[in-house]
Structure 1
Amino acid sequence: MKKIAIVSSSNFRCQFIYLLLEGESVTLFSNPKHVEEPFYDIIIYAPIHEENINVFPNHKLIVVQEGDMKPSFSGRHVPFEVTNPSNVKRKIWMHINQLHSERANTLTGGIVAIGSSTGGPLSLQTVLKPLPATFDVPIVIAQHMPADFTRVLARRLNQIVGIRVKEAHHLERLEAGTAYVAPGGKQMTIQVSGDKDAVIHINEPEGTDLYHPSINYLFESVALYEWKIVVLLTGMGSDGAGALAKLKQSSQTTIIAESQQTATIFGIPNAAIKTGLVDEVLPNNEIGEWLVGKGGKP
């Protein structure tokens, strides 16, 4: 049975939501500081006034509150409607079932995903060079590049950095210490195999796809990992920024953007920064060391 915490400084709101979850394993809290977050699968937080909504991790949080949420909030929101409890109940359960489904399909362990465009090859080289061959997790890369050029890029990187770098193949299983470059002109995503392994899927782009490979598609697919680090490097446009809200809604995610100081073109990192969801802004010569220092973990 799912363990659910209902948190609100308003006793009325706690009781209101509690009655909508009759039969579930529920604990009520009046103060967010009293909630031992790791013990609960789902936290339903009903703040009033201007209380901080960022006290709980997004990957298990449902916020019940009047009105629209701030644009920077990337989690699950249910409007608080006293006169329409059935609608509140329906939306809460929709999010609970979504969270449960996501958790059932989660891949254990972690991954690093990198997106880049103009100026990317040099920036990728700078980021990957400090990583040891024993790096603990796999790395997946979407570099805007035509077909065949990515094979040359992967071969070149493999010769000058410490970890293994290769162009990715369809249905290839991910291995730690290897960086997989999405083939130019294709779309690459990560999916869960029947035996719960991470498998690369390479597909033809849709006619409406602006980028192939797409950073957005790749980033959205790694949301199924237990934890992940995504890195947005130099490039024109905003590819990748559209996936960040979904990543923040999933389990542990750290988002890094290359700083204007080293980006050949600041478009992609800047678009990510403007979402308000980026955790670190670093020059490319510090990103690899940051990853090594963290052991590939957020």
Structure 2
Amino acid sequence: MKKIAIVSSSNFRCQFIHLLLEGELVTLFSNPKHVEEQLYDIIIYAPIYEEKIDLFPTHKLIVVQEGHVNPSFTGRHVPFEVTNPSNVKRKIWMNIDQIHFEPADTLTGGVVAIGSSTGGPLSLQAVLNPLPATFDVPIVIAQHMPADFTRVLARRLDQIVEIRVKEARHLERLEAGTAYVAPGGKQMTIHVNAKKDAVIHINEPGATDLYHPSINYLFESVALYEWKIAVLLTGMGSDGAGALSKLKQSSQATIIAESQQTATIFGIPNAAIKTGLVDEILPNEEIGEWLAKKGGKP
């Protein structure tokens, strides 16, 4: 388990961040000078005044602070938002994972991440149908749906296709041959636990989150994998397109968009295509055949 120091002269800020990291091995400090930094894997520093940022080594430091930090600080920064704790938690965890698993220590193996919206259930069925029960990698799915509907969707797909399909649970470890559907009305991201396993995090959406589950959030979180395949299926809007640049900048990544031929609504795939980062444009059933042939490898 990671050893985390939370440092702030504000007791409120210390306790606020501590609650977001419930279950982790955390020590609280009110004075930065009392922290023996070599004893901690992560240092989360939440200054309230113009306190010095250079007290701690940048490679293990996350600064949580309103607005802009010291202009000389080029490290990891999370905006302090009391009214949006789920967003603060998500960004802290994204930074924690980056500290330990970039770039050489990425998660070994691969993952398939799928995003869909209007018309998604039928396209998901077409994509998953060709996959064998022994599919080599896990699949994570963000389908725009309200709460409870995703549980029904996962159950129905599980009865139709060979691969196992289920609604995802918080802190569940990802396993090959299983497709995990993000719970409707929540945000799902992939993180790394102390044993270096990929685990699911389910959080409440932020007040400004347009989509929940968000394809962008899910796609950004799988960038830690050694290789990844991102699939954008039918739907309105452009969710998912904003994460493609980060995927391409990480390690091996292949991006597939559903063609207009089978998409009920071409918005999400088309927005991805317009980024110029899409590698394949295929009808939904051919996406499944492509994945089955490749075994989840780019």
* TM-score, normalising length: structure 1: 0.66
Verify the 8 A CA contact 2:110 2:225 in the aligned structure 1: yes
- Partner in structure 2 of residue 108 of structure 1: 108
Greater radius of gyration (CA): 1
- Partner in structure 2 of residue 253 of structure 1: 253
- Cα distance in 2 for partners of 1:182, 1:215 equals 10
- Partner in structure 1 of residue 136 of structure 2: 136
Q: CA, structure 1 residues 153+185, in 2 after alignment: closer, same or farther (shift >3 Å)?
A: same
Verify the 8 A CA contact 1:227 1:252 in the aligned structure 2: yes
Once the two structures are TM-superposed, the CA of residue 123 in structure 1 deviates from its matched residue by 0.3
Once the two structures are TM-superposed, the CA of residue 285 in structure 1 deviates from its matched residue by 1.1
Verify the 8 A CA contact 1:189 1:200 in the aligned structure 2: yes
- Cα distance in 1 for partners of 2:105, 2:188 equals 19
Verify the 8 A CA contact 1:238 1:271 in the aligned structure 2: yes
Deviation string 1:232-289 (CA, Å, 9 cap, x unpaired) is 0000000000000000000000000000000000000000000000000000010000
- Report the 3-state secondary structure (helix = DSSP H, G, I; strand = E; otherwise coil) of the residue aligned with 2:109: strand
- Report the 3-state secondary structure (helix = DSSP H, G, I; strand = E; otherwise coil) of the residue aligned with 2:153: helix
- RMSD after superposition: 1.6
Deviation string 1:126-174 (CA, Å, 9 cap, x unpaired) is 0000000000000000000000000000000000001000000000000
- Partner in structure 2 of residue 118 of structure 1: 118
User: What one-letter code is carried by the residue in structure 2 that aligns with 1:234?
Assistant: T
- Report the 3-state secondary structure (helix = DSSP H, G, I; strand = E; otherwise coil) of the residue aligned with 1:103: coil
Once the two structures are TM-superposed, the CA of residue 218 in structure 1 deviates from its matched residue by 0.1
- Partner in structure 1 of residue 82 of structure 2: none
- Partner in structure 1 of residue 155 of structure 2: 155
- Cα distance in 2 for partners of 1:154, 1:223 equals 24
User: What one-letter code is carried by the residue in structure 1 that aligns with 2:134?
Assistant: T
Q: Which runs of 5+ in 2 are unaligned?
A: 1-72, 75-97
User: 4+ runs of 1 displaced by more than 2 Å?
Assistant: 98-101
User: What one-letter code is carried by the residue in structure 1 that aligns with 2:293?
Assistant: G
Identical amino acids, percent of aligned pairs: 88
- Partner in structure 2 of residue 288 of structure 1: 288
In the alignment of these two chains, the number of paired residues is 203
- Report the 3-state secondary structure (helix = DSSP H, G, I; strand = E; otherwise coil) of the residue aligned with 1:165: strand
Q: CA, structure 1 residues 161+103, in 2 after alignment: closer, same or farther (shift >3 Å)?
A: same
Verify the 8 A CA contact 1:220 1:243 in the aligned structure 2: yes
User: What one-letter code is carried by the residue in structure 1 that aligns with 2:211?
Assistant: Y
- Cα distance in 1 for partners of 2:101, 2:117 equals 33
- Partner in structure 1 of residue 230 of structure 2: 230
Once the two structures are TM-superposed, the CA of residue 100 in structure 1 deviates from its matched residue by 9.2
- Partner in structure 2 of residue 145 of structure 1: 145
Verify the 8 A CA contact 1:134 1:163 in the aligned structure 2: yes
- Partner in structure 2 of residue 75 of structure 1: none
- Cα distance in 2 for partners of 1:228, 1:294 equals 12
- Partner in structure 2 of residue 180 of structure 1: 180
Q: Which runs of 5+ in 1 are unaligned?
A: 1-89, 92-97
